[in-house]
Chain A
Amino acid sequence: MAKASGEQHASPVRWLAPSGLRGRLLLLIAFVLLPAFGLILYTFAEQRTAAADRARGDALWLIRLVAAEHRALMESAQQQLLGLAQLPFVTHRNQAALCNRSFAGMLRHQPHYANLGVIDPDGNLRCSALPFGAPVNLADREYFRRAVQTRGIVIGDYQVGRVTGKSGINVAYPLFDSAGTLTGVVFVALDMASWLARVIAKTPLPEGSTLTVLDPRGTMLARHPDPDRWVGKTLPSAPLVQAILTHNGEGTTESRGVDGVERLYVYTPFAFSPDNKVYISAGIPTAVAYADVDRMLARSLVLLAIIATVVLLAVRWGSHILVLRPAAALIEAARKFGGGDLGARTGMSHAGGEFGRLAQTFDEMATALEARDRRLHAVEDERRLADARFADILRNAPDAVISIDTDQKILLFNRGAEAIFGYRPDEVVGRSLAMLLPARHAASHGGQVRRFAAGNELSREMGAQRDIQGRRKDGGEFPAVVTISKLEHNGETVMTAILRDITERKRAEDEIRRLNADLERRVRERTAQLTAANRELEAFSYSVSHDLRAPLRAIDGFSQALVEDYAGRLDDQADDYLQRVRAATQRMGQLIDDLLRLSRVTRAEMRHVPVDLSTLAAEIVAELRKSAPQRTVETVIAPGLTTRGDPALLRVMLENLLGNAWKFTGRTEGARIEFAATRGDNGEPLFRVRDNGAGFDMTYVDKLFGTFQRLHSPDEFPGTGIGLATVQRVVHRHGGHIHAEGAPGGGATFTFTLPEDSQYGNEQQQQQEDQETDNGRREVYPAG
């Protein structure tokens, strides 16, 4: 509709203006040239009018001149007649011969005279310059009658002479004798044609001009040129004659002459007397009158044409350079761009002018469009890639992916589905989903799917309560898990089920269940065994603590009884043996106690309460001092060392560490025992128990914490080799680490961590004490 109206709209526009730029430009140029053309025409019209005026003026001047000449001719003819009237051979009728001779002579000197003659009063020609044969009677001539009548000089009408045969005017004068009786009439016949020729010869008339003398009846009395052809003819219907006769005065007219030539005529009446009137008309051919003007017009037009040609060529060339080329470049760029070449640019300068701006706008638009196109392409590529990826995922997914519509007709059936169900896509697409389900389940599944389709959920795992069964092409059924999701596009709902055959998984689950049951059974058995073993261990340690000690006590007790009761009866050797028996039993008792403690440390239930290690250490040191009041031992216990743990176990630990330190400084002068803490690498407190006692060889550091491992002989330092094993277990049970450093005779340092909420008091104070220690108050005991 819009298109149609546009077309309707376009056509008049196209008609009004050429569609091409060059055409429009040329049209503009034509608009410019048109006034010049008009001006030229106007000037031409003006000049033509001026030329006509000039021609009229010339003609007027000519006819006035002719009239004056005519008058002069008439007057000279009158003078001539007055003179002739005095001559005897004129007045005397009998001197005709002389008269003829004289007149003939005169006629030779008077070129304008057609004839000279005398007429008798009866009208017979008496004498004539031109010879005449038969008598000629001129009594009917108007000039004769008027001369007789008026008895004065008469200028006759234009007439054609009977003797001369020429047109002319006769001037007559009556002759009287002394009595006043008319004796004759002397006349001169003026040869108007030759006169007129002479007058014209003197006058520069343009070529083709005519001069005509008419009488009031329209008879041509004289004409130049071609007098012979026209004189005497009456042409009352000729336009000029009409104009002259109707106008009856001086005037001009432009009309076609009798010879068919267009002329500009000027005419004026001329009269010798009131009743003797003629008209003189001069005609100048319009072609001649307008020749200059027309030439000028032609020149102007030629010039204009040349200018127009030059201008149009210039415009054509200029428009090509200035307009068409950029326009063509723009069009070409637009065409290429439109044709799909998005890299197309105008290649034009963007500087200045509408074309520059247009080119810039176009280039910018093209760049923007190209960028957008690139982006679109990128997006498109991405989308295609995503589609391809999605398609690959769909194709290669081991799960069955099946799309159905709301009527549960299968739309999509991927390769995974083929593998699982054994159908080819063409066997199922378009058919009902029910074919993939066991017949007995189809109805309930269909209902579930329908409810899902109608519901608000977007995805859902089907068969959450019980397994879904699928049916293969061969009729076999298999357990499956199905997730169904819903998508709506353009009002169309598509549901996609992702289905996995879980036969294997089921089997694996069953296997796992079976294995689990088996495992549980075995755990139960093992637990029972362990419980039994534990009970045995308990019984063992109980009986160790009870039953093993009893015999030892008996051995010791009775050995003592022997020593006491048989004193004097046993020799020294026997006493020594009994003492050895007692020592051995007591060591065994200690061993049993330590072992029991070690096992208790391992078995005991842990408590987790705040423990003040500083206080604990102080108590232990106090007990040690009490057990050996004779010893002088410097002890340094940093205050504020706390942790969280089992107080009993921590006490056992510190008892062993401090007890060891106490024991191994037993032979050291200036014995010193220190319990302190420093900050470890990761900020945790590093507790340490340091002594300056016997120390140990680092070679055996690995054995230090082993059960029953001793680095000193019992003679040197008594011990069971269980204490440090117990310490390590306590530390480990608290999640910490312990290590030892030492040198034979160089003392030992036990460093341990207790990660749970440990504090290390005032670090600075400890460092100070460290320095004191390092300042050499320690004495090195010789290695033993």
Chain B
Amino acid sequence: MAEEKYILLVEDNPDDEALTLRALKKNNIANRVVVARDGAEALDFLFGRGAHAGRNPENTPTVVLLDLKLPKVDGLEVLKALRADDRTRILPVVVLTSSKEERDIVASYRLGANSFIRKPVDFDQFIAAIGDLGLYWLVLNEPAPLR
């Protein structure tokens, strides 16, 4: 049976979380969104450990929307950890961040990010961006088959 397509949103800022969820909704993306509020939690969730111990790590999200500036373990460290682990090595990770710092972009792609999207201030543009993102990753993109 096909696993439920869900999104892991790694976001510490509740405003951004709300806005992201709103934008998804506005784009009629009804998929479940799991929110991790820091990098450590995101990794615990993905690897089924800590607070998420017992969760099947093979039930991976369709896409991870990863903020870079995170408490505890920041986004790039999360990305590094994901790419270091076989289970999450090919997991689609979209860096979704306020920053447009070149070094962040470069570092992200170097660490294996699949995409880098800057959160626009203009909410209309933000909605459009989230719409495009959801359409692409959840509908158009064919994920790698699970082993």
Report A's interface with B, CB cutoff 8 A.
541-542, 545-547, 549-554, 556-561, 582, 585-586, 588-590, 592-593, 596, 600
Interface-side segment among B52-60, B116-124, B137-145:
B116-124
| 15 A–B contacts from the bound complex (CB under 8 Å) | A542-B101, A546-B98, A553-B98, A553-B120, A553-B121, A553-B123, A556-B123, A557-B19, A557-B126, A558-B18, A558-B19, A560-B124, A585-B121, A588-B121, A600-B102
- Contact residues, B74-100 vs A (CB, 8 A): 97-100
Query: Hey, which chain A residues are within 8 Å of B22, CB to CB?
Result: 557, 561
Q: Is the CB of A556 within 8 A of B121?
A: yes
Known pairs A546-B69, A553-B126, A596-B101; list 13 more (Cβ under 8 Å).
Answer: A545-B101, A546-B68, A546-B98, A553-B15, A553-B16, A553-B121, A553-B123, A554-B19, A556-B122, A556-B123, A557-B126, A561-B22, A561-B123
7 shortest A-B CB distances, which residue pairs?
Answer: A589-B121, A554-B15, A557-B19, A557-B123, A549-B98, A560-B123, A546-B98
Q: Does B31 contact A (CB under 8 A)?
A: no
Q: Is the CB of A549 within 8 A of B101?
A: no
Q: Is the CB of B120 within 8 A of A550?
A: no
CA distance A552 to B98 in the complex (A): 10
Query: Hey, which chain B residues are within 8 Å of A592, CB to CB?
Result: 121
CA distance A590 to B125 in the complex (A): 13
CB of A635, distance to nearest CB on chain B (Å): 27
A557 partner, pick from B15, B97, B98, B100, beta carbons under 8 A: B15
Q: Does B13 contact A (CB under 8 A)?
A: yes
Q: Is the CB of A589 within 8 A of B120?
A: yes
CB of B133, distance to nearest CB on chain A (Å): 15
Query: Hey, which chain A residues are within 8 Å of B100, CB to CB?
Result: 545, 593, 596
Query: Hey, which chain B residues are within 8 Å of A552, CB to CB?
Result: 121
CA distance A600 to B103 in the complex (A): 11
Nearest A residue to B127 via CB reads A560
How many positions in chain B have a CB within 8 Å of any CB in the partner chain?
Answer: 22
Query: Hey, which chain B residues are within 8 Å of A545, CB to CB?
Result: 98-101
Find the residue from B23, B102, B120, B126 having the highest chain A CB count within 10 A.
B120
Query: Hey, which chain A residues are within 8 Å of B101, CB to CB?
Result: 541-542, 545, 596
- Contact residues, B15-38 vs A (CB, 8 A): 15-16, 18-19, 22-23
CA distance A600 to B100 in the complex (A): 11
Nearest B residue to A541 via CB reads B101
CB of A75, distance to nearest CB on chain B (Å): 193
Nearest B residue to A589 via CB reads B121
Query: Hey, which chain B residues are within 8 Å of A542, CB to CB?
Result: 99, 101
Chain A at the B interface: SS class: helix
Query: Hey, which chain A residues are within 8 Å of B15, CB to CB?
Result: 550-551, 553-554, 557-558
Report B's interface with A, CB cutoff 8 A.
13, 15-16, 18-19, 22-23, 68-69, 97-102, 119-124, 126
CB of A88, distance to nearest CB on chain B (Å): 217
CA distance A588 to B120 in the complex (A): 12
A549 partner, pick from B18, B68, B119, B123, beta carbons under 8 A: B119
Query: Hey, which chain A residues are within 8 Å of B69, CB to CB?
Result: 546-547
Query: Hey, which chain A residues are within 8 Å of B16, CB to CB?
Result: 550, 553-554
Query: Hey, which chain A residues are within 8 Å of B119, CB to CB?
Result: 549-550, 553
Query: Hey, which chain B residues are within 8 Å of A586, CB to CB?
Result: 121-122
CA distance A488 to B121 in the complex (A): 91
Query: Hey, which chain B residues are within 8 Å of A547, CB to CB?
Result: 69, 98
CA distance A39 to B113 in the complex (A): 153
CB of B78, distance to nearest CB on chain A (Å): 16
CA distance A475 to B13 in the complex (A): 83
CB of B84, distance to nearest CB on chain A (Å): 24
CA distance A754 to B100 in the complex (A): 28
Q: Is the CB of B97 within 8 A of A546?
A: yes
Query: Hey, which chain B residues are within 8 Å of A553, CB to CB?
Result: 15-16, 19, 98, 119-121, 123, 126
Q: Is the CB of B123 within 8 A of A550?
A: no
Q: Is the CB of A546 within 8 A of B123?
A: no
CB of A327, distance to nearest CB on chain B (Å): 112
CA distance A573 to B21 in the complex (A): 28
Nearest B residue to A564 via CB reads B26
CA distance A557 to B98 in the complex (A): 14
CB of B24, distance to nearest CB on chain A (Å): 13
Query: Hey, which chain A residues are within 8 Å of B98, CB to CB?
Result: 545-547, 549-550, 553
Query: Hey, which chain B residues are within 8 Å of A558, CB to CB?
Result: 15, 18-19
Find the residue from A541, A545, A592, A596 having the highest chain B CB count within 10 A.
A545
Find the residue from A546, A556, A596 having the highest chain B CB count within 10 A.
A546
CA distance A596 to B19 in the complex (A): 24
Nearest B residue to A597 via CB reads B100
Query: Hey, which chain A residues are within 8 Å of B19, CB to CB?
Result: 553-554, 557-558
Query: Hey, which chain B residues are within 8 Å of A582, CB to CB?
Result: 122-123
CA distance A557 to B121 in the complex (A): 8
CA distance A560 to B68 in the complex (A): 25
CB of B108, distance to nearest CB on chain A (Å): 13
A546 partner, pick from B23, B99, B126, beta carbons under 8 A: B99
CB of A535, distance to nearest CB on chain B (Å): 13
CA distance A592 to B97 in the complex (A): 15
CB of A366, distance to nearest CB on chain B (Å): 95
CB of B76, distance to nearest CB on chain A (Å): 12
Find the residue from A547, A551, A553, A554 having the highest chain B CB count within 10 A.
A553
CB of B23, distance to nearest CB on chain A (Å): 8
CA distance A592 to B99 in the complex (A): 11
CA distance A609 to B23 in the complex (A): 42
CA distance A223 to B121 in the complex (A): 196
CB of B120, distance to nearest CB on chain A (Å): 7
CA distance A546 to B18 in the complex (A): 17
CA distance A582 to B127 in the complex (A): 14
Query: Hey, which chain A residues are within 8 Å of B126, CB to CB?
Result: 553, 557
CA distance A560 to B26 in the complex (A): 12
